Structure 1
Amino acid sequence: MSRDQNRPSFTSRRSLLAGALAATTLAACGRSEAPVDEEGRVRLRFATDWHARAEHGGFYQALAGGAYARRGLNVQIVQGRPGIDVPQLLASGAVELGLGSDSFIPLNLVAEGAPVKAVAAFFQKDTRILLTHPDAGLKSIADLKGRPFLLTESAAATFWVWLKARYGFTDDQLAAYDYDPAAFIADPRAVQQGYLGTDPYTIERSAHFTPRTFLLADEDYLSYATMVLAPNAFARDNAAALRSFIAASAEGWRDYIHGDARAADALIRRDNPQMTQAELDHARQALKDNSIVDGGDAALYGLGTMTEDRWRTFFESMSAAGVYPATLNWREAFTTQYLPGRG
């Protein structure tokens, strides 16, 4: 099942953020030190974007392996669910930190004037993919011209705009995606959106063929993913705790990808009993094989890193495609000052 299921549409999300802005702005006027527990550890609630899965594994690893506790943090992972809206949780003060699924979310927050930034990006590649039936004639995304695309409303408003601008696709190719792969399986020419760690595995098990997959990130789709979002006031008033959270999360992601993941997987399956170990193993291997966590700039500057050049390039491509006005202050979407070794 796609993580887009039951999320607000692109349009309704902007309406929700407008309402959230008032609460966030009020919170920014005063100080917002995080509470401490009876042992003097800083309490942090971190909201994910969906049910627990391997794509959250590094955070669970940091929890299971004690990386947060060793840095004086008492971290609670607030598992996502259908209909979750992480910016709303941040705005209401229900959580201190949240997970941003892609680079559109911080830029949308800037567009609404909401004082929230991305402070780390633990996926250097967005794991969004396009799936097709096996076809030796398909060499690249460009070969999908003229085929029907099964996309959600939010996908049609975001990365589809990039696909159209880059490959000349047209809106008459769009077909509604109802989170059921049956339509895709039945149509050998169909293209379905998905996520690298879950959807190929699901299709293979249900349709008994291995789908062809195209990772958007491998064709210059430069969105970050699995970002940590923090309200500006919280980051200002809890800088040491925020740096510790990011450093511990980086340690967790390193160990989840390259070490023993059993303790983290046990916590994931505790929170999400429907998740199987086979699914976790498949997704973790996909993250590793595609250098999702430690590739790109992370190989040079450390896990969680972001760069201004990459944010600029992503924004300029989306602005040119009409998603954002050229005047948007895109630099307000992120900060690198809380990354390990910065600030």
Structure 2
Amino acid sequence: MTSLRILAVAALAALVAACSPGKKEVTPPAGQVTIRFATDWKAQAEHGGFYEALASGEYAKRGLNVEIIQGGPGVNVPQLLASGAVDAGMGSNSFIALNLAQEGVPVKAVAAMMQKDPQVLIAHPDQGINSIADLKGHPILLSDASVTAFWVWLKSKYGFSDDQIRKYTFNSAPFLADKKVAQQGYVTSEPYTLEKEAGLKPQVFLLADNGYPSYATMILVPDSLIAKNPAAVRAFVEASAKGWHDYLYGDPKPADALIRKDNPEMSQDLLDQAREKMRTYGIIDGGDAKEKGIGVMTDARWAEFANMAISQGVYPKTLDVKKAYTLEFTTPSVK
């Protein structure tokens, strides 16, 4: 189903200039490899492990000079990678890596820092909604990106229909105004802000805990860098995994300081509760990461996701799933 694809290579060249921060020529410290890493949104706790690795020197000690390029509504990470404007980037969900593979863009996922996608559906309490299945027929506020991502899985598993979709503009006012309406969110963000700002303790359903197989916060790297400097790619993955472990279980203050410097609108209480949610739900170190380490991916998980998407017509049956990722760089050394 072509309309469901997020990325169209034919549009890349025209769009890159509009969203690219421009690749600056940077002279790294002697002996270090420069990696400009683009995130998928403004700095937040959901990026904390990367900021921790930067602040604590984990990248530097492995010979890397890393610059984190903050994302936002005008930044498209796949386009930046396809154009060579950045050296690595963050993949929000598994659709992104498969889109790149389907369109023949030589970029691969080399690690998944989030074993569970933090996407949730949020509903009002006392409405008889006790599971995702109960939301069938209810209006749901969704962003355009979500319609071409996890909505595909919701339709496949629960029989949801497109007439339930309402436009979500990252403003919860329509949700608060109508108790029958549900909305999308991150388990680490919207439930907390709704409770804090509106005094509402909503029903929260984590898609991953209901079978949604997408990875999140993946590290995407061009094939050219993998071929040219696989040691640098491995070093970036290992340092990021260590950063995530330390952000969750060590001292997060250095990372939080960098996050709030990049994104002054971010509050400390939002960072603190998000970190606690990531620990509680096993977002980073749950699933396969319990035994195989932070960042791990598996062929079985990728096949499960691809089969779901193919069954819904998102991709053709001929899709070569293994062009979307490589297991070469995931490491079991950090848990």
How does the TM-score come out when normalised to structure 1? Answer: 0.90
Percentage of identical aligned residues: 53
Does residue 275 (structure 1) correspond to residue 266 (structure 2)? The answer is yes
1:265 alignment partner in structure 2: 256
Secondary structure, in 3 states, of the residue corresponding to 1:204? helix
Name which of 132, 137, 148 aligns with 1:157: 148
Instruction: State the 1:23 CA deviation.
Output: 12
2:236 alignment partner in structure 1: 245
1:286 alignment partner in structure 2: 277
Does residue 20 (structure 1) correspond to residue 12 (structure 2)? The answer is yes
Does residue 196 (structure 1) correspond to residue 187 (structure 2)? The answer is yes
Which amino acid in 2 is paired with 1:66? G
Secondary structure, in 3 states, of the residue corresponding to 2:295? coil
Instruction: State the 1:136 CA deviation.
Output: 7.0
Does residue 148 (structure 1) correspond to residue 145 (structure 2)? The answer is no
Gaps of 5+ in 1: 1-9, 25-33
Secondary structure, in 3 states, of the residue corresponding to 2:7? helix
2:297 alignment partner in structure 1: 306
C-alpha distance in structure 1 between counterparts of 2:170 and 2:14, whole Å: 33
Task: Return 209-218 or 171-180, whichever deviates more.
Answer: 171-180
Name which of 50, 63, 67 aligns with 1:76: 67
Gaps of 5+ in 2: 17-24
C-alpha distance in structure 2 between counterparts of 1:104 and 1:325, whole Å: 14
1:4 alignment partner in structure 2: none
Superposed counterparts of 1:106-145, under 5 Å: 106-135=97-126, 137-145=128-136
Which amino acid in 2 is paired with 1:70? K
Does residue 206 (structure 1) correspond to residue 197 (structure 2)? The answer is yes
Instruction: State the 1:22 CA deviation.
Output: 11
What does the per-residue CA deviation read over 1:27-64, in whole Å, with 9 as the maximum and x for residues that have no partner? xxxxxxx9762321111110001100000000000011
C-alpha distance in structure 2 between counterparts of 1:291 and 1:138, whole Å: 24
1:177 alignment partner in structure 2: 168
Q: 1:234 to 1:188 in 2, by over 3 A?
A: same
RMSD of aligned alpha carbons: 2.1
Q: 1:172 to 1:13 in 2, by over 3 A?
A: closer
Which amino acid in 2 is paired with 1:20? L
1:102 alignment partner in structure 2: 93
1:38 alignment partner in structure 2: 29
Which amino acid in 1 is paired with 2:10? A
1:235 alignment partner in structure 2: 226
Task: Return 223-232 or 196-205, whichever deviates more.
Answer: 196-205
Asked if the contact 2:112–2:295 (Cα under 8 Å) also holds between the matched residues in 1, the reply is yes
Does residue 89 (structure 1) correspond to residue 102 (structure 2)? The answer is no
Asked if the contact 1:158–1:323 (Cα under 8 Å) also holds between the matched residues in 2, the reply is no
Asked if the contact 1:146–1:173 (Cα under 8 Å) also holds between the matched residues in 2, the reply is yes
Name which of 206, 217, 225 aligns with 2:208: 217
How does the TM-score come out when normalised to structure 2? Answer: 0.92
